[in-house]
Amino acid sequence: MIAVQGVTGKTIGVLGLGRSGLATVAALKDGGAHVIVWDDSPTAADTANGAGVDLRDLTKEGAFEGVDALITSPGIPHLYPEPHPAIEAALRVGVPVDNDIGLFFRSFATQDWDNFDTMPKVIAVTGSNGKSTTSALIHHILEEAGRPAQLAGNIGRGVLDLDPAHDGEVVVLELSSYQTELARALTPDVTVLTNLSPDHLDRHAGFGGYVAAKRRLFAEGGPDRAVVGVDEVEGRYFANQLTEGPGDDRVIRVSSGQKLDRAPWSVFARKGFLSEYRKGRQVASIDLRKIAGLPGAHNHQNACAAYAACRAIGLGPRVIETALHSFAGLPHRSQLIAEKNGVRFVNDSKATNVDSAAKALAAFDNIRWICGGLEKEGGLDALLPAPSVRKAYVIGREAAAFAMKLKGLDVEVCTDMATAVSRAAEDAQSGDTVLLAPAAASFDQYDSFEKRGDDFIAQVSGL
């Protein structure tokens, strides 16, 4: 656990008692704070009692009397579409609002570090798509290279649930826009931007607000190195903002498809090969086509970002290449579930938006596409004409409406996962891929994209 510093004797409110909220409560108590909590859940009293803290309705008049700060869970809106009533109350009376990411960055370094030979480092990864795979891949490479490492944030453990740092350790954090937007302290050593596409627009009042939330990690974090995907104009803008001049190699530009041989330092993938260039000269190359855990151009982009981050902290190209080959991939992200009679079944339930679904569709040929769910803003036009799709099998409560937007495709309305998997398997021929890449959120039928992917796995296993 990371004990929060600077809170001894203070009264700190915690809003939200999920995974990160409970870890925050424990870390604040360990730091000497008096903690009060509030959660809208009807089981909040039992949860608070189990955590050994006081429950106080922070939405009521006068609830912030004597409270020094409010720490909110990332999923709770603090600005758009409108602040949670407890946060609105804190804003009105001037109580500082922060989150666990801010607490982590101001508490991670301790006096024990004075005795370390090698200072610990933090690599922070953000982006619209691929950040979980990139974060897990960086962590995997570090472990395979023998470097002590921990993985946390939007993947795995809560940041304050991490163990105190060891000599030379590297902490890899996956950070969402919800986390970067509010954190009062952001000081990673290396930052990574995978890519940017419209997402969470209601939470950020549009794409501009979403981009600004991501940008805070780079502009306010002051990293020693920044790994930036430059396939979108926003990424090129980020890289430009962080660069002092043509020879500045503190920014490592990353691309999937573009040859970046003029930048001071770049890593890119073309035709299945990763290339690293420094000052106009190629210094390393890796054949990504044989790496089973990283299929498709989108995963090649993730490999480039992870490679660049590990190079930024001094790992050698051959060490990284060896580790790439042993990476098994993440559940629900281009995950090969089964192969029978020449038909592959692939679970990419994490493809919750149009951009990530498009990348999944581009990674395979002859696709029997299972899609649908709670559609996000922006429509589905960016997915079309989808030449690799032989037929779409649509699930979700609004499956018929979703199907009507897939113009030019052979479409079957299935509504539920069991029907979609059964029909796709019946139609599939040798060489086809039955791909779950919903291009939509899961909440119309499932609690999470993980639950949706688990259902797909169960239906495939039952064939």
Annotation: binding site for ATP: 127-133
Query: What is the CB-side half-sphere exposure of residue 169 using CA atoms within 13 A?
Result: 16
The 3-state DSSP class for residue 227 equals strand
Q: Are 265 and 251 in contact (CB under 8 A)?
A: yes
Runs of H (alpha helix) within 346-410: 354-362, 399-404
| Token duo for residue 245 | 């001049």
d(CA 219, CA 227): 13
d(CA 263, CA 236): 12
DSSP 166: P
Q: What single letter denotes the amino acid at residue 221?
A: G
Feature table: binding site: 127-133
C-alpha pair distances (Å), 215 with each of 105, 130, 184, 228, 231: 17, 17, 14, 11, 16
d(CA 269, CA 296): 11
Q: Torsion angle, CA of 252/253/256/257, rounded to 10 degrees? A: -130
Tell how strand 265-270 and strand 433-436 pair up: unpaired
Closest by CA position to 218, among listed 207, 227, 209, 208: 227
- φ, ψ (nearest 5 deg) of residue 206: 115, 170
The residues that bridge with 98 in the sheet, in sequence order, are 71
Q: Torsion angle, CA of 87/90/94/97, rounded to 10 degrees? A: -50
Tell how strand 265-270 and strand 273-278 pair up: antiparallel
Q: Are 105 and 171 in contact (CB under 8 A)?
A: no
DSSP 16: -
Instruction: Mention every residue, 6+ apart, whose C-beta is less than 8 A from residue 21.
Output: 14, 15, 37, 39, 73
Residue 271: how many other CB atoms lie within 10 Å: 9
d(CA 200, CA 179): 13
Q: From start to end of 111-264, where are the E strands?
A: 121-126, 149-153, 170-174, 190-193, 225-229, 251-256
